[in-house]
Amino acid sequence: MALESAQTTPVSPTRTDKFVWGIPQNGLQQKEREVSTEEPPPLPANAELTYIGKATERYDGPAKAMGTGKYTADVNLPGMLYARMVDATIPHGRIVSIDTTAAEKLPGVRAVHVIEHVYGVAELRDPKLETPSRYPVIRYAGQPIAGVAAVSQQIANDAAKLVNVQYDTMPFVVDRSEARADDAPVVFPGPADAAGSAGGGGGPAGVPQKGNVHGPERKTIGDIEKGFAEADVIVEGEYFTQVQTHSALETHGFVVDWKPEEMTVYASTQGTASVRSEFADVFKLPKSKVRVITEYMGGGFGAKFGAGNEGVVAAYLSQKANAPVKLMLDRRQEHIVCNRPDSHQKLKIGAKHDGTLTAIQLTSYGTAGVGTGAGTAGPATNLYKCPNLLTEEYDVFINAGPGAAFRAPGHPPGCFAFEQTIDDLALKLSMDPLDFREKIDENPARKVERQVIRDRTNWRNRKPAGSDTGPIKRGMGIAQSVWYRFVSMNSSCEVRVSRDGSVELMSAVQDLGTGTKTMLAVVVAEEFGIPPSSVVVRIGDTRFPIGPDSGGSVTTGSISPAARNAAYQAKLKLFAAVASKLGTTPDNLAVQNGRVIFKNDPSRSFTLKQVTAKLPTDEISAQATRLPEYSKERITYGGVDYVELAVDTETGRVHVEKVFGAHDCGRPINPTGVISQINGGMLQGISYALFEQRIMDRNAGYMLNANLENYKILGAREVPEIEIVLIENYIAQSSTDAAGIGESAGIITLAAAIGNAFYNATGVRMRKIPMTPANVLSALGKVQEVQA
Amino acid sequence: MADAPKIGFSRRGFLKGAGVTAATTAIESANALVREAKDVAHFDRAVGPDALPVKLHINGREHSVTIEPRYTLAETLRDNLGLTGTKVVCDRGSCSACTVWIDETPVLACMTLAIDTVGRQITTIEGLSQGDTMHQVQAAFVKHDAMQCGFCTPGMVMSCAALLERNPNPNLDDVKHAISGNLCRCGTYPKVFAATLDVAQQRKQSAGLMTLSAGWEA
């Protein structure tokens, strides 16, 4: 993770404040913290607030519903050219020659650029192991080679086909298990490492490598042998998960307008800051001459950080053609550019008769193609406390597109294996799965969430596994998730107040569709006592103060305190500027119930407009940057998800009928947005569990289903009934106490919960996803296993 | 898509015609070819491959645009006319993000050649609202948060609004059917169902009120 944890001690003057702490269901408590004097006063619980914690309509909802929001794909600048990437048609080999003459001669073509360096893939520790070449070695079908810019997209597409690439082919391997063999073709002729993105993912560097097998990354706690010797009961399990592609509806893409005075980059990105840094690095420009804009963004899910090969190519084309260039990947390229790695996991867990865990051992092999980061140990390491743990994670290189961060990297496959093994252990101990987790999980939020599941679902009517006698078998199952509190200190906001009473917030932070704009409007609205719809939010432009890159659920927890603090400082400035004109002192002014009041005489109250009208200047503004966390306590978030499903044992189809989730993410700022994200995480989790799968052609070495009709993602017909309960969990860590929900929103748990429900329905353990009819019938012993 | 395009020579039709295997497909394609021949007859000459000027009726206005015959309606709307509310996601008819109406029937703009829409009434997401006033379905999408990244939203809105035109009283299954071709990666489907059913309910109530007020007047 390239995300820093903000845990340095404040150096500025401090004071001691009392913060609301705990979970309402358990009775809220108070916690004393020493905080910087720059901090606003502590917020009370959501129940006592006007806008924070109340359902708020999406800030840019009308623009999205009316189609007026401009995404990167929609940018159309005067004189803009359209570009297409040219990519490799072979899985492994060297480029002998590239002839761009025909492409350049096509009327309407304005520039061609041939790539000299490929970004986002693993690189040899010792580059001398390969003969130097003008062109990068091709290691996967779809690897970017060149870009073409023309006056229309159609001409650019035509020209891309005219770029003639001659290859010297090399043996290749696109299957993880085949790639582990001693005599398998090697993807890299020696050890290679890949850097992670701002969104996390990425594997360890400098670990051993033999052939294509990179690793292990080993984590040890206690003594694993001793732990298993102490166990009364031991369960083992072997699990397989597939490669999932991000499939964001807006493909990766950029519009680059490279002018001598400034390079303007419109980016479909999760991090305007990461894009600005990488463009500055690659093109040796000062950051002050790179501007990145992301006003609307059509989904990322971890795939979109930095400049990317397509961004770099767009910039070169813009420079060569002296015109703005739009380069969006096509859908095939989007499926190849990055993915969630697959996995083959072996788990062994030991416990005492009373359920006490004594040992957890995980070995995982996974492929991130020509990248690394296939580790799955997150859930096994962090979900339950165990005195003895050993995890060994291996990356296996194959000739396929690189893995990347994808919504809770490592956790959905890890949870699929781990939470099913935990259920197996419960079965062996003759304990109810919820009771067993009660025994091994101390987390107070999870305890409340399990109680919600017990109270509000059909769990109490759960029957023993395989009880249904007909061909349709129903079952229920649960699984838990865990995610971490990451904070980025690159989180700043400016708040402006004008004499006419208007309030604006500005930050470079981007909104991926998660509702960042709305969340910021709510935070500022609370401070000024005006409705969120009255706050103007301008974000996604590096002309504004820096914002965090949105990966690892970092955004809300990082930027919301900066927003509140900026609003608070602006409010103090306003009060200082107008108090004498109102006949009082600044410290006698406060916002209460949507009005500015005299603290010593609440009958004296004004609207914000009446107060700002007294400003001596047209505008005041304040900027604030994220201050450190209030304490060093280690905090995790998570949830418990419950699934009811039906398995048709004749057709092999799995129908998820109901999902009930109880989740926590600190203080929810806008429950509407949080619930929408959890809805989405659950549905993406079902999609991962039942449908999605990258299929590689073993003979030709390319992805067979790089499109949206053969790469199946969940549609309207597969949506179950969904119920979501949000658990407020006050932790007294920042001026908002908020956190993101992107990762622990259901994507982690659903495959595992479906697996556990499948077992409850059929008495058979699904060890492989996706649970397609073929895989289900094979697990039920009705057909022979087929390899996709 | 719940409704097959009623217009002539779609890109899909062309692809089918290029490599037919099933007899029924061949007949469909033959019919499409006949319709195609009729549709382009008024150009008085064979068209393409060069660009030619055409007039398209979009959102109640006539637009003159010079396009190559191979341009899809989606490309023409977005790149030539600046109507970027219509999104292109898969560009091959498998996600419905580019859904527009042609003569009130929802069609996929990425699978429709722009020149085939000459003489037809095209409605895009931009034509659904009246200035800043949202169409009832758009307002319901906002109210129910039936969007996250918003890239599938225009197509979803067009599919749901068309459903309500042809079936004012849909049930949940009707809504699922109507958007069974609309893919959403953020998982907004449940909110889309709620928004669409809410509009149907609102219309039923206001229809009831109108009947009531008519009764009062009488």
In this prediction, residues A392-402 reach a mean pLDDT of 98
**Interface subset of A 282-321, CB within 8 angstroms of B:** 296-299, 301
Is the pLDDT at A58 greater than 90, yes or no? yes
Q: What is each CA distance from A561 to A8, A38, A738, in whole angstroms?
A: 16, 12, 8
Quote the pLDDT of residue B210.
67
Coil, strand or helix at B147: coil
**Mean pLDDT of all residues in A600-606:** 95
Mean pLDDT confidence for A305-327? 97
Q: Write the pLDDT tens digit of every residue in A488-544.
A: 999 999 999 999 999 999 999 999 999 999 999 999 999 999 999 999 999 999 999
Identify the residue among B108, B130, B148, B199 best suited for mutation to test binding to A, counting A beta carbons within 10 A and taking the highest: B148
CA A30/CA A754 separation, integer angstroms: 39
Q: Does A241 touch chain B (CB under 8 A)?
A: no
Q: Which residue has the higher pLDDT, A786 or A118?
A: A118
Decide if pLDDT at B25 tops 90. no
User: What's the rounded mean pLDDT across residues A195-222?
Assistant: 89
Cα distances (Å, whole numbers) of residue A75 to A330, A388, A468, B113: 16, 54, 56, 23
| B32 pLDDT higher than 90 | no
Residue A160 has pLDDT above 60, yes or no: yes
**pLDDT score, position A784:** 87
Q: Which domains does chain A have, with CATH numbers?
A: 38-64+488-505+527-536+544-625 (3.30.365.10), 72-173+246-337 (3.30.365.10), 410-485+635-779 (3.30.365.10)
Q: What is the 3-state secondary structure (H, E, C) of A548-596?
A: CCCCCCCHHHHHHHHHHHHHHHHHHHHHHHHCHHHCCCHHHEEEECCEE
Judge if ipTM > 0.90.
yes
The pTM for the full model equals: 0.94
The mean predicted confidence, pLDDT, of chain A is: 96
The string of pLDDT tens digits covering residues A756-770 is 999 999 999 999 999
Nearest residue on chain A to B77, alpha-carbon basis = A74
- pLDDT for res A730: 97
Summary mean pLDDT of chain B: 84
Higher pLDDT, A504 or B20: A504
Measured between beta carbons, the chain B residues lying within 8 angstroms of A301 are 185
pLDDT band at residue B45, thresholds of 50, 70 and 90?
low
What average pLDDT score do residues B35-46 get?
A: 52
Summarize the confidence of residues A609-632 as an average pLDDT.
Answer: 97
Q: Determine the pLDDT at residue B30.
A: 42
Q: Do B126 and A66 touch (CB under 8 A)?
A: yes
Band of the pLDDT at B2, cuts 50, 70, 90?
A: very low
Name the more confident of A479 and B43.
A479
Q: Identify the pLDDT of residue A716.
A: 98
- Residue B49: pLDDT band (50, 70, 90) is confident
Interface of B with A in 14-43 (CB under 8 A): none
Mean pLDDT of A54-82: 98
pLDDT band for position B37 (50/70/90)?
Answer: very low
Whether the predicted pLDDT of B16 surpasses 80: no
* Angstroms from A58 CA to nearest CA on chain B: 7
Structural domains in chain B, CATH included, are 11-128 (3.10.20.30), 136-217 (1.10.150.120)
Tokens of A584: 């009082």
Alpha-carbon dihedral B137, B143, B149, B154, rounded to 10 degrees: 10
For range A127-139, the mean pLDDT: 96
Q: Measured between alpha carbons, how far is residue A65 from residues A537, A678, B105 in Å?
A: 18, 21, 19
Residue A678: per-residue pLDDT: 98
Q: Of B126, B181, B185, which is closest to A67 when you measure between CB atoms?
A: B126
pLDDT of residue B47: 77
Inter-chain contact B175–A680, Cβ cutoff 8 Å? Answer: no
**pLDDT value for A439:** 98
- Whole-number pLDDT of residue A195: 82
Q: What is the pLDDT of residues A6-38, one digit of tens each?
A: 445 556 799 999 999 999 999 999 999 999 999
Residues 35..94 of B with a Cβ closer than 8 Å to A: which? Answer: 68, 70-71, 75, 78-79, 82, 84-92, 94
- What is the C-alpha to C-alpha distance for residues A490 and A547, in angstroms, rounded to an integer? 6
Widest Cα–Cα separation across chain A? 86
Would the CB atoms of A57 and B142 count as touching at under 8 Å? yes
Q: Does pLDDT of B141 surpass 60? A: yes
**CA dihedral sign of residues A668, A295, A251, A366:** negative
The pair of structure tokens assigned to B138 is 């758009």
| Residue B138 in this model has a pLDDT that exceeds 80 | yes
Amino acid of residue A207: V
Instruction: Decide if pLDDT at B28 tops 60.
Output: no
Contacts of B181 in chain A (CB under 8 A): 715
What pLDDT, in 10s, does the model give residues A644-658?
A: 999 999 999 999 999
Q: Which of B185, B188, B196 to mutate to test the interface with A (most CBs of A within 10 A)?
A: B185
Does pLDDT of B188 surpass 80? yes
**Residue A57 to chain B, least CA–CA distance (Å):** 6
What is the model's pLDDT at position B31? Answer: 45
- Contact status, residue A619 vs residue A498, Cβ threshold 8 Å: yes
Please determine, for residue B6, whether its predicted confidence score (pLDDT) is greater than 80: no
